[in-house]
Structure 1
Amino acid sequence: MLILAKKEMIDAFRNKLFITLLSMLFLLIIVSVVLGSFQIKINVESYNQSVSILKSLGKTELPPPPSFNPLSASKNFANYIGLLGALMAIVLGNASIVKERRGGTMRLILSRQIYRDGFLNGKVIGNLILLMLISLFSFVITLLAVIVISHAPITVDDIARQGLFFVISFLYMAFFLLLGLFMAILVRDGNKALLITVMIWLIISFIFPQIGDTMDMDNQLPGGFFASMGMNKADSQKVLDRFKFYESLRDGIEECSPTKHYERAGFALLNVKTGFDKNTALEVVAIKWFDVAALLAPCIILWLCAAMILLRREDIFEE
């Protein structure tokens, strides 16, 4: 199983499509993080200059330092993972099965001293390690850029928040890895399996969130429909209660999108979404436990379903 895991990692770097997507992802990450860090640096320098000017004028009452939020340098990473990271994971999951089936090596491997579940686990573990290394590299690059370029004050909790954000990013990519692998096992035609997986990705990552945002009654005007009407929270809830079925349908569609859960938990950790700046990293995860579980649970389910199909079907070797 460990030999298969190592083989998966080596084979991934022979996949031209994976290399292309990975290169584009790293290029976008580096550019966005560097630009974000420079923006934070400009804000830090502007504040320091203001303080210096006030001190030179003999002022003793100085303005408190604003929240520079060094974590904001990573906010574009969520968009890149939602697009390139998901596609990259789908390609890895699909190729891990299809290449063995087309090359006729799956039957040969399983004729050795390895069971089908070990074969599947080796494939999954190898690709998960690869995604973990990609997330770790992105975390290190982001942290170094923030420390070296921005010179913004960064705390241990900031580092923990950023680290947990990249853990959630790993879970998000793992979901699409297992989805691609599951579809490659379920559908014997490798090209058709890849096409179906991409279609599922488009629906749950783009169409479902768009439907949820469009159907949101409070999202029809800038600043919120209820706020523009001068309604408080209690009055807004009364209106929503009259459209309970409508809101339940909208929420149900939105909850089916792993991208929404990823953004909710990720943006809360990065302080992009207001209301979580006073919480520690672990407290944010505890508050957003449902969104984290909504990423982890489908991964486990897809892994188990892939194992069940692989164990029971004998035509798995043929395309």
Structure 2
Amino acid sequence: MPDTLSPMARMATIGLRDAREALRDGFVLVAIAALTLAALVSFVTGAIALNGDAATYAQAKALLLKLGKDVSVIAAPELYPLKLLRGTVEQIEIMGAVIALVAGYRAAAAERGSQALALILTRPLHHWQYLAAKLAGGAGLAAVLLAVVFTVTGMLLPWVSGVALSAGDALRLVIAWGAGVLYLAGIYAMGFGLSLWARSPAAGLITAFALWLMVVLVAPQIGDTMDPDNQVAGGIYAQLSVPKAEQDRIKAGFALYETIRGGIEQASVTKHYERLTFAVLGIKDSYTGKPLGPILTEKRGDLLFLLFFTLGIGGVVLLRPINPDRLTKET
């Protein structure tokens, strides 16, 4: 790396070199292909069913017109193709997070294994600049990965379902893409930081996976399982026909329990990502067909949690200094 380069140019060089290495061994291409295929498989069955509903309505409407009857006698079905992306979001939560963790591990392990990191740090490059370049590369990887996933699904969804996407639907997809980039960038930073600081990159990856399991799988499941209303389809209160006032009275007696349960669930960044995207895409029924503005206003807390999670993890990585002497002694 020439010493005459500006700090930004040095950072760009590091990021581009990481991208070339990832492309050379096929990791990026395999990750993109795997996540895109999983996303397509997750929505194709529902899309075919939606296509059938749209085709049935079109045939009925054509028959009425042919008979000279008023088409208003049959109500147009409410078709929301973005609801079919539920499985896509869930694939990003789990499979996307695994890809981000492995990518972070690879970014740290590649140079530690070859002792190149200690050599790079002898150049006129601040430690935080090197780390920022690595984090930016991870965010770029997440952006490209999810751009491919949402572009492919957005193009195929109207074709498979038979329902065209509107400009508003496209905007919702862009917002879901941005939320996904924040989510995966934070997971990448966690994998990269732990793999860089640990005694060995493998130990860092194991620690990162343990934390990932807690954040992505354990905490959300504990929160859902501890909620008595989730134990019966449709909700236990609805099944027992308990009036709203009585529900509130019962819940008041378990205020501490609900606080603990809610706190565990709120600690999961995955849950915040899911709530935001499910609302924006209209996957959750209470947000289906609602304007985007009020949804974003209501869900700004989930968006802020995502933002602070990613910035917080990234900030910790940037602020922790690298010890070149320790790295050079590794075997």
TM superposition score category, shorter chain reference: over 0.9
State the Cα RMSD in Å: 2.1
Given that 1:5 and 1:123 are in contact with CA atoms closer than 8 Å, whether structure 2 keeps it comes out as yes
TM-score by length of 2: 0.89
Q: Tell me, yes or no, if structure 1 residue 122 matches structure 2 residue 133.
A: yes
Change (3 A) 1:211 1:318: farther
Task: Look up the SS of the partner of 2:188 in the other structure.
Answer: helix
Q: Which residue of 1 aligns with 2:54?
A: 44
Task: Look up the SS of the partner of 2:321 in the other structure.
Answer: helix
Which residue, 184, 189, 193 being the options, matches 2:200?
A: 189
What displacement does 1:40 show?
2.6
Aligned residues: 319
Given that 1:36 and 1:72 are in contact with CA atoms closer than 8 Å, whether structure 2 keeps it comes out as no
CA distance in 2 between partners of 1:298 and 1:316 (Å): 28
CA distance in 2 between partners of 1:136 and 1:318 (Å): 40
What displacement does 1:36 show?
4.2
Q: Which residue of 1 aligns with 2:38?
A: 28
What displacement does 1:150 show?
3.0
Change (3 A) 1:101 1:150: same
Which residue, 179, 185, 194 being the options, matches 1:168?
A: 179
CA distance in 1 between partners of 2:192 and 2:157 (Å): 36
Given that 2:193 and 2:317 are in contact with CA atoms closer than 8 Å, whether structure 1 keeps it comes out as yes
* Greater CA drift, 25-34 or 284-293: 25-34
Given that 2:32 and 2:148 are in contact with CA atoms closer than 8 Å, whether structure 1 keeps it comes out as no
Amino acid at match of 1:267: F
Percent of aligned pairs sharing the same letter: 27
Task: Look up the SS of the partner of 2:187 in the other structure.
Answer: helix
Aligned counterparts, 1:112-151, within 5 A: 112-151=123-162
What displacement does 1:39 show?
3.1
Q: Tell me, yes or no, if structure 1 residue 8 matches structure 2 residue 36.
A: no
Q: Which residue of 2 aligns with 1:77?
A: 88
- After superposition, the C-alpha distances for 1:219-278 in whole angstroms (9 at most, x for unaligned) are 122111111222232321221111111001100110111111111111111211022234
Which residue, 241, 248, 256 being the options, matches 2:267?
A: 256
What displacement does 1:18 show?
5.6
Task: Look up the SS of the partner of 1:13 in the other structure.
Answer: helix
Q: Which residue of 1 aligns with 2:110?
A: 99
What displacement does 1:312 show?
7.1
What displacement does 1:62 show?
2.8
- After superposition, the C-alpha distances for 1:28-65 in whole angstroms (9 at most, x for unaligned) are 22334544443332221111112223334443133232
Amino acid at match of 1:233: K
CA distance in 1 between partners of 2:135 and 2:127 (Å): 12
- After superposition, the C-alpha distances for 1:135-174 in whole angstroms (9 at most, x for unaligned) are 1112211221123343314221111112211211222211
Q: Tell me, yes or no, if structure 1 residue 269 matches structure 2 residue 276.
A: no
Q: Which residue of 2 aligns with 1:229?
A: 240
Q: Which residue of 1 aligns with 2:317?
A: 306
Q: Which residue of 2 aligns with 1:53?
A: 63
Task: Look up the SS of the partner of 2:199 in the other structure.
Answer: coil
Q: Which residue of 2 aligns with 1:157?
A: 168
What displacement does 1:19 show?
4.9
CA distance in 2 between partners of 1:318 and 1:100 (Å): 13
Which residue, 240, 243, 251 being the options, matches 1:240?
A: 251
Change (3 A) 1:314 1:187: same
* Greater CA drift, 187-196 or 225-234: 225-234
Specify every segment of 5 or more residues in structure 1 that has no aligned partner in the other structure, as ranges. none
Q: Tell me, yes or no, if structure 1 residue 281 matches structure 2 residue 278.
A: no
Specify every segment of 5 or more residues in structure 2 that has no aligned partner in the other structure, as ranges. 1-10
CA distance in 2 between partners of 1:97 and 1:127 (Å): 11
CA distance in 1 between partners of 2:200 and 2:194 (Å): 10
TM-score by length of 1: 0.92
What displacement does 1:318 show?
4.8
Amino acid at match of 1:303: G
